[in-house]
Amino acid sequence: AQTVTQSQPEMSVQEAETVTLSCTYDTSENNYYLFWYKQPPSRQMILVIRQEAYKQQNATENRFSVNFQKAAKSFSLKISDSQLGDTAMYFCAFIPRDDKIIFGKGTRLHILP
Amino acid sequence: DADVTQTPRNRITKTGKRIMLECSQTKGHDRMYWYRQDPGLGLQLIYYSFDVKDINKGEISDGYSVSRQAQAKFSLSLESAIPNQTALYFCATSGPPSYNEQFFGPGTRLTVL
């Protein structure tokens, strides 16, 4: 079965610090997509960043970057210069070839003033 | 205006009642999805539809049914609601150019007493 594991249920960091959220996945597919979604208290699901498995270069979006290790099936999210507005639930997600997205259970991130 | 809308946004109902949650989209996407979110469990796929004539069960379809009335509309029904169906429900869509990105509605919080 294809699974996504987020090993950190909850994390807290001080504002302006850098934080890394972990994600591992299990699949026998070679081509797939990985995502990080943010869910703030408003509960809206917001796409933060996307990585295509066939691309070796790690994706970046402003303060957000990933460390994609395909052989290790690892896809961590780094948030630099964290801001209070980054406080949210973060979900790692994976879409294999058949297009049904599989979510991890989430990491609740608190940015402390 | 939001591209993916859900009605109602919040609903409280009683055990045994029939409930319909509606989803509409203006993105022109052909694929639509219904997810359920429970605390600590991430999002789980209930049903999905790749076009108007295509309906497929997801991981947790028992107790639910769906109707794809048009390309833009995808409804989720609980025929006889029970308390363990209390959850946050999300509709999502995907379409060209990239079916691998899903766009989420704002969610419906359903409470079954």
**A35 strand-pairing partners:** A50, A93
**B1 pLDDT more than 70:** no
**A101 pLDDT more than 90:** no
Predicted confidence (pLDDT) per residue in B44-83, tens digit:
999 999 999 999 999 899 999 999 999 999 999 999 999 9
**A98 pLDDT more than 70:** no
Task: Assess A100–B contact: CB distance below 8 Å, yes or no.
Answer: yes
- pLDDT level of residue A31 (50, 70, 90 thresholds): confident
B-proximal residues of A, 26-45, CB under 8 Å: 33, 35, 42-45
From A73, A84, A93, A54, select the one nearest B90 (Cα to Cα): A93
- pLDDT level of residue A40 (50, 70, 90 thresholds): very high
In chain A, the residue whose alpha carbon lies closest to the alpha carbon of B50 is A99
